[in-house]
Amino acid sequence: MNGRRPSTQTETVLSAFLESPGEWFYGYDLSKRLGLPSGTLYPILMRLEDRSHLETRWTEPAEGGRPPRHMYRLTTAGRAWATAAVAEPSGAITFRRPVGDTG
């Protein structure tokens, strides 16, 4: 994994995707299931998509008069990245001794 660690909220989203790794998810359903407000969830989904960890598609509603819905799922590379991202505890801190410190 490169770069910064994902936020706790991002790890929560990734964990939800990893529970059913080839499945498509609606943003609204994720928001309700995870208890994340849309103002938190959708920026996470957009970042993950921008970094090619998620793929997206629009689906037509089953009922007429409703707008199309945006769906998300992990890409193959996104699955590998998400698995590594959630495998490391987010609270893990590595302490380094200053150079020359023996003890």
| pLDDT, tens digit (0-9, with 9 covering 90-100), for 58-87 | 998 877 788 888 999 999 999 999 999 988
Alpha carbon distance 61, 59 (integer Å): 6
Top-level CATH class of 8-87? mainly alpha
| Residue 41: burial class (beta carbons within 10 Å; 0-12, 13-18, 19+) | buried
pLDDT reading at 57 higher than 70: yes
Angle CA 49–16–32, to nearest 5: 95
Residue type, 91: G
| Model confidence, pTM | 0.77
Are 69 and 58 in contact by the 8 Å Cβ rule? The answer is yes
Longest dimension (CA), the chain: 72
